[in-house]
Structure 1
Amino acid sequence: MSAALVLQSDFGLSDGAVSAMYGVARSVDSSISIFDLTHDIPPYNIWEASYRLMQTIIYWPEGTIFVSIVDPGVGSDRKSLVVKTDSNHYIVTPDNGTLTHIDHSIGIADAREIDEEVNRLPRSGASHTFHGRDIYAYTGARIASKAISFTEVGPAYRKDSIIKLPLHRARITDGLITGLIDILDIRFGNVWTNISRELFQQLGIEYGDKLKVTIENQSKMIYNHIMSYGRSFADIPVGEPLVYINSIDNIAIAINQDSFARSYDIGTGSNWLLSIQKAPK
Structure 2
Amino acid sequence: MELDSGKLRDAAVSRSTIPVMPTLARSPFPLAIITDFGYRDHYAGAIKGVIASIAPGAAVIDITHGIPAQSVVAGAIALRETWRYFPARTVFLAVVDPGVGTARAPIAIETRAGARFVGPDNGLLWLAANQAGIKRIVKLTSPRHRRTNVSATFHGRDVFAPAAAYLWRGASISALGPALRSIVQLDLPRPVDSARELRGEVIYVDGFGNLVSNIDRRTAEQFGARFRHKSLSVRIKRGAAMRLVDAYGDAPKGAPLAIFGSFGLLEVAVRDGNAAAHFAAGPGSSVSLVAAAGRA
TM-score range, shorter chain: 0.7 to 0.9
Deviation at 1:40, TM superposition (A): 1.2
1:71-129 Cα shifts (integer Å, max 9, x gaps): 1211122100011234321110111121243256554332111114332124xx35222
Give the structure 1 partner of residue 215 of structure 2.
Answer: 195
1: CA distance, partners of 2:47 / 2:145: 15
Structure 2: gaps (5+ residues): 1-26
1:228-255 Cα shifts (integer Å, max 9, x gaps): 1111122211122111110122211111
Deviation at 1:194, TM superposition (A): 2.1
SS of residue matched to 1:77: coil
2:282 to 238, 257, 267: 267
Structure 1 vs Structure 2 CA RMSD: 2.2
Give the structure 1 partner of residue 179 of structure 2.
Answer: 156
- 2:292 pairs with 1:279: yes
TM-score after normalising by structure 2 = 0.82
Would you say the 8 A contact 2:234–2:241 is kept in 1? yes
Question: For this pair of structures, how many residues does the alignment match?
Answer: 265
Give the structure 1 partner of residue 157 of structure 2.
Answer: 133
Note closer, same or farther for the CA distance 1:40–1:80 as it changes in structure 2 (3 Å cut): same
Give the structure 2 partner of residue 36 of structure 1.
Answer: 62
1:245 to 251, 256, 260: 260
Structure holding more strand per residue = 1
Structure 1: gaps (5+ residues): 216-222
After superposition, residues 91-106 of structure 1 pair within 5 angstroms as: 91-102=117-128, 105-106=131-132
SS of residue matched to 1:224: coil
Note closer, same or farther for the CA distance 1:195–1:60 as it changes in structure 2 (3 Å cut): same
1: CA distance, partners of 2:89 / 2:50: 20
Deviation at 1:214, TM superposition (A): 3.6
TM-score after normalising by structure 1 = 0.86
Q: Per chain length, whose mean CA-contact separation is higher, i.e. which structure has more relative contact order (CA < 8 Å, sep 6+)? A: 1
Note closer, same or farther for the CA distance 1:249–1:4 as it changes in structure 2 (3 Å cut): same
Q: Percent of aligned positions with the same letter in both sequences? A: 29
Note closer, same or farther for the CA distance 1:103–1:171 as it changes in structure 2 (3 Å cut): farther
Deviation at 1:3, TM superposition (A): 3.3
Match of 2:286, as an amino acid?
L
Answer with 1 or 2: which has the greater Rg: 2
Deviation at 1:53, TM superposition (A): 0.5
Structure holding more helix per residue = 2
Deviation at 1:6, TM superposition (A): 0.7
Q: Which contiguous aligned blocks of 4+ residues in structure 1 show a shift greater than 6 angstroms?
A: none
Would you say the 8 A contact 1:71–1:94 is kept in 2? yes
